[in-house]
Amino acid sequence: MGLVRLDVMAPAQIAATTAATAVPTRLLKFHAPEIVFGIDSMAEAAHAAVRLGGLRPMLVTDPGLIEAGWVAELVGHLRAQCVEAHVWSALTPNPKDHEVTAGHEFYRSHGCDVLIALGGGSVIDAAKGIAILAANGGHILDYAGVDKATAPIPPLVVLPSTSGTGADVSQFCIVTDTTHNTKITILGRALVPDITVIDPRLLTTMPEWLNAATGLDALTHGIEAFVSLGHNQLTDHHALRSVVMVTENLVTTIERPQDMPARVLMAQAALEAGLAFTNAILGAAHAMSHQVGGLLDLPHGVINGVLLPHVVRFNAEADPAPFATIATCLGIADKRAPELESALALADRLQELARQVGVPRGLAELGVRDADVPVLAHNALQDACLTTNPRPIDDAQLRALFRAAL
């Protein structure tokens, strides 16, 4: 599978498809951190931490990145700036509420003054949770919802090691509530990192399953942002570019893990999808995925890969037009074809891609039982991501969607 030359083919095509969405009289706001992007850019994170006033940085990471040698490299860059990092890695995938509490205690006891997150979505979400508690106190579950954390958080520098979560540019923080076995969504402008440093080298040590999962997460971000009720002409461009880049390059990175041109494009896809969804918000696939991940502690992107085609079909029944636009950009439908036909072709292509990268055929293979569906649907209705789903959805429809995905 070849690489997409987005600098050549995408701007004219995507500009044509997004121009119709422009509403000149509408007031728009676009949240984004300072972004440093490029191979061998890791050293910039150390400069950024110092520039933000950091003297005692807390470096949040995970054991896999320590083993891969990336933490030692970053610590070396910090030492070159005469700064000694306090490394904390006592967290697990899908960060738990008690882990965030423990991380905050580490931050406080070491007198830290800046946070650096080196890792995937779990690491970045944990760092954001720690930052919330450092500034606002209390328990992390107190901040579920929108703009509940009112005090400014400490400076936050992020280095993503996966190509998909978007946490490095987003205003989201997802934490597992271990009492109720669900995930809470914390949403607020204060959670957008100050600086994100994207070094595509970090992607080369991802396990294959994580590469697939985070790539499908980026794809879901792009599609849900494009059809979201909160979308606009500033987000549409990023959303469509990300969808094209993922569909054309994800399989390449799995087949040839050291292919740096493909890795660079996947890093860019994750970045652009993140910029799109943090400003347009998401939809039903994420609202549902959060509940499954909270119940069974499963990889978020894998769950998205199972759910997304079903959600696309459901939403397209009400309005197939934006899905038809995506299908046209991907070259899997003619723009003269009936819109619903094109939207269903998109759903089929998404299902095919998920199979190509090893995603199970249904939620049952991941451990979800029919008896779990009522609770999953009830909890999904409370998720903030559902508010911008393009089609209204009730408890009965959510149950039907979960069962269709089993």
In the chain, what percentage of residues exceed pLDDT 70?
A: 94
Half-sphere exposure of 294 (CA within 13 A, CB side): 26
Kindly tell me the burial class for residue 142, based on how many C-beta atoms sit within 10 Å of its own C-beta (0-12, 13-18, 19 or more): middle
Under the banding of pLDDT at 50, 70 and 90, the label for residue 2 is: very low
What SS3 class is residue 172?
A: strand
Mean pLDDT of 296-300: 90
User: Could you read off the pLDDT of 227-259 as tens digits, one per residue?
Assistant: 999 999 999 999 999 999 999 999 999 999 999
Given a cut of 50, whether residue 6 has pLDDT beyond it is: no
Question: Are the CB atoms for 321 and 332 separated by under 8 Å?
Answer: no
User: Could you read off the pLDDT of 103-132 as tens digits, one per residue?
Assistant: 999 999 999 999 999 999 999 999 999 999
- Report the pLDDT value the prediction gives residue 138, as an integer from 0 to 100: 96
- Report the pLDDT value the prediction gives residue 13, as an integer from 0 to 100: 56
Under the banding of pLDDT at 50, 70 and 90, the label for residue 93 is: very high
Given a cut of 70, whether residue 8 has pLDDT beyond it is: no
- Report the pLDDT value the prediction gives residue 147, as an integer from 0 to 100: 92
Alpha carbon distance 240, 226 (integer Å): 7
User: Could you read off the pLDDT of 25-49 as tens digits, one per residue?
Assistant: 678 889 999 999 999 999 999 999 9
User: Could you read off the pLDDT of 192-227 as tens digits, one per residue?
Assistant: 999 999 999 999 999 999 999 999 999 999 999 999
Q: Provide the angle, in degrees to the nearest 10, between the axes of the packed helices 208-227 and 284-296.
A: 150
Question: Are the CB atoms for 141 and 184 separated by under 8 Å?
Answer: yes
* Predicted structure pTM score: 0.91
Mean pLDDT of 41-68: 97
- Report the pLDDT value the prediction gives residue 9, as an integer from 0 to 100: 41
Alpha carbon distance 84, 57 (integer Å): 7
Cα-Cα-Cα-Cα torsion 248, 45, 39, 276, nearest 10 degrees, comes to: 20
- Report the pLDDT value the prediction gives residue 18, as an integer from 0 to 100: 53
Q: Provide the angle, in degrees to the nearest 10, between the axes of the packed helices 300-318 and 208-227.
A: 30
Structural domains in the chain plus CATH codes: 6-29+214-273+281-404 (1.20.1090.10), 34-202 (3.40.50.1970)
Taking all residues of the chain, what is their mean pLDDT, rounded to a whole number? 93
Look-up of token digits 């690489």: 3
Backbone angles phi, psi at 116, to 5 degrees: -120, 125
